[in-house]
Structure 1
Amino acid sequence: MNALLTLTRAVARKELVLMVRYPVNTLSNLFLTYLFFVLIFFGGQAVAGPALTASLDGIIVGFFLWTMASLSFGYLAWSVTAEAQWGTFEQLYMTPFGIRTIMLVKAAVGTTINFGWGLGMLLLLLVTSGRSLQVDLGTVLPLGALTLASAVGIGFCFAGLSILYKRIEDLLSVVNFALVGCIAAPVESVAWLKAIPLAQGSYLLRRTMDGGIRLWEIPAPEILLLVGTAIAYPAAGYYVFRWAQRRARRKGILGHY
């Protein structure tokens, strides 16, 4: 346990150092997300007027979730790509923990950091729009963590693909925008859409932050479905990651870039 805590602290320290050392890259990603919201907000007000105002709370919650999901999804794939570029990826296999444990810890640390970025973005969105939401941390934090688990699962999948195919940046960009569709999926009218990544969590977060519903007031089947997706997608993504890792080792391209 002490060794795992040491690993967690080391990974967290490394991520914080990288963010501080490359501030332009860190802040530009969040600025572009914020700029995207500003364009929709002010442009939508000019075009749609009251129609936009009626759905603004849902848009804010969606952007809050998309910020965290896009960071969590891309984090693992970009991490593998960066380690390969630096020539340190193969060294992760020689640690006492092994690559799998390190990637799991990276996923946990990255999700925690991205949750902080998401809350900061939420504050900016509320200040910009002049709106207010009911943010009960006892409800938002567990729902947010369960929701982001599916994004982490997708991240594991694409981390595996980056081991095999190295340059998948364009594909990551496409999938990043596909996450918007998952978050905005009309799960109220099409029930089976609740099974896709992020959809059920987005629906529950909108209900809690817009309607003031607490965690214990959500029907148990809705929570169980969210827990199911939070388990299934990371498990599937981790399986793909392990498969890609073994295939890359057999082909002798593990450390290539």
Structure 2
Amino acid sequence: MQMEVYNIFKVNFKREWIQMKRYLPNTISELIIFYIVFLGFFLGISLIGDPENLDYNIQMIIMNYIFWYLVLSLTQGIGLEISDEAGRGTLEQLTITPYKLWFIFITRMTSVIIISMISISILLFLAMLTTRQNLNLDLLSIIPILLITLIGVLGVGYLISSITIIIKESGYLIQIFQFVIMGMTFIPLTTAPFLKFAPFMYGLQLIREITINNFSILSLNINDIVFLLLNSLIYFITGIYVFNRAEKFAKQKGLLGHY
């Protein structure tokens, strides 16, 4: 079983890697566009922001923007994959394999996360270089928090893609959702404490504490880690459940073969 899981992951990782190389100009242009948009945020906060808190505000923008880029890649990813498979006429074929559709896509999204780290690292380096800000990149503290947070992000991705699996073309909904995510990531929990129950927001807050306030995972309260884990698991399990129900409905209505 472990070898089968490895082989599925290997095939999907190779697929994503080939696509990235094949469409490298698109990847580079997307990175440039995101960097230009970041420059707009940076110049805006530099011109009208509070000079006394300027460094802190710029560091917050860097973290919020990088995190938004990552969350956007995952939440959109599953839905776009379903649309692409439906457009090629291969979506129905995936559902008749021995593996659940949600499992196939989670291996793809794991591949996307690994490959996206290249773009994210470049974007983070450019942001720090441009703003002359040094963040506390304690990977031993950041990676565990990030991985737990991404479990919940994947759950949100499945919730969104459950719409796509029925109506196939849901690009407009995904575009609207990307601005919702942006709005959420730029709101500090001190301003809206209730957002700690939203997906990925508490993980982002803990990563801010590490990168901006020089915390480490050992200095975080164990209750914070437990809350983050439960929050992420609830969203992930909910997302998988809704996705499976949507897949079952699509099969019953014969929608998987239509685009």
Structure 2 counterpart of 1:79: 81
Asked if structure 1 preserves the Cα contact closer than 8 Å seen for 2:66 and 2:120, the reply is: yes
Structure 1 counterpart of 2:10: 9
Partner Cα distance (1:120, 1:177) in 2 = 23
Which runs of structure 1 show a deviation greater than 4 angstroms over 4 or more consecutive aligned residues?
none
Structure 1 counterpart of 2:141: 139
Structure 2 counterpart of 1:92: 94
Determine whether 1:233 maps to 2:235.
yes
CA displacement, residues 101-153 of structure 1 (integer Å, 9 cap, x when unaligned): 21222232223333343222211211111111110111111111122222211
Equivalent AA in structure 2 for residue 121 of structure 1: L
TM-score, reference length from structure 1:
0.94
Determine whether 1:59 maps to 2:41.
no
Give the Å deviation of 1:52.
Answer: 4.0
Structure 2 counterpart of 1:43: 44
4-13 vs 141-150, which deviates more? 141-150
Partner Cα distance (2:26, 2:166) in 1 = 26
Partner Cα distance (1:195, 1:25) in 2 = 35
Distance 1:195 1:49, change over 3 A: closer
Structure 1 counterpart of 2:202: 200
Determine whether 1:115 maps to 2:117.
yes
Structure 1 counterpart of 2:253: 251
Structure 1 counterpart of 2:35: 34
Equivalent AA in structure 2 for residue 27 of structure 1: I
Which consecutive residues of structure 1, in runs of 5 or more, have no partner in the other structure?
A: none
Asked if structure 1 preserves the Cα contact closer than 8 Å seen for 2:45 and 2:58, the reply is: no
Equivalenced residues, count = 257
18-27 vs 195-204, which deviates more? 18-27
Asked if structure 2 preserves the Cα contact closer than 8 Å seen for 1:68 and 1:117, the reply is: no
Partner Cα distance (2:122, 2:235) in 1 = 26
| SS of match in other structure, 2:187 | coil
| SS of match in other structure, 2:79 | helix
Partner Cα distance (1:255, 1:112) in 2 = 31
5 Å matches for 1:125-204?
A: 125-204=127-206
Equivalent AA in structure 2 for residue 42 of structure 1: L
Equivalent AA in structure 1 for residue 39 of structure 2: V
Asked if structure 2 preserves the Cα contact closer than 8 Å seen for 1:134 and 1:210, the reply is: yes
Q: Considering only aligned residues, what root-mean-square deviation do their CA atoms show, in Å?
A: 1.7
Distance 1:188 1:43, change over 3 A: closer
| SS of match in other structure, 2:212 | helix
Asked if structure 1 preserves the Cα contact closer than 8 Å seen for 2:165 and 2:250, the reply is: yes
Determine whether 1:23 maps to 2:24.
yes
Q: Aligned residues: percent identity? A: 26
Partner Cα distance (1:204, 1:100) in 2 = 28
CA displacement, residues 51-72 of structure 1 (integer Å, 9 cap, x when unaligned): 5444111111111111111101
TM-score, reference length from structure 2:
0.93
CA displacement, residues 61-92 of structure 1 (integer Å, 9 cap, x when unaligned): 11111111110111111111111111111121
Partner Cα distance (1:49, 1:191) in 2 = 23
Asked if structure 1 preserves the Cα contact closer than 8 Å seen for 2:146 and 2:203, the reply is: yes
Partner Cα distance (2:143, 2:76) in 1 = 21
Which consecutive residues of structure 2, in runs of 5 or more, have no partner in the other structure?
A: none
94-103 vs 239-248, which deviates more? 94-103
Partner Cα distance (2:212, 2:49) in 1 = 21
Give the Å deviation of 1:163.
Answer: 1.0
Give the Å deviation of 1:207.
Answer: 0.5
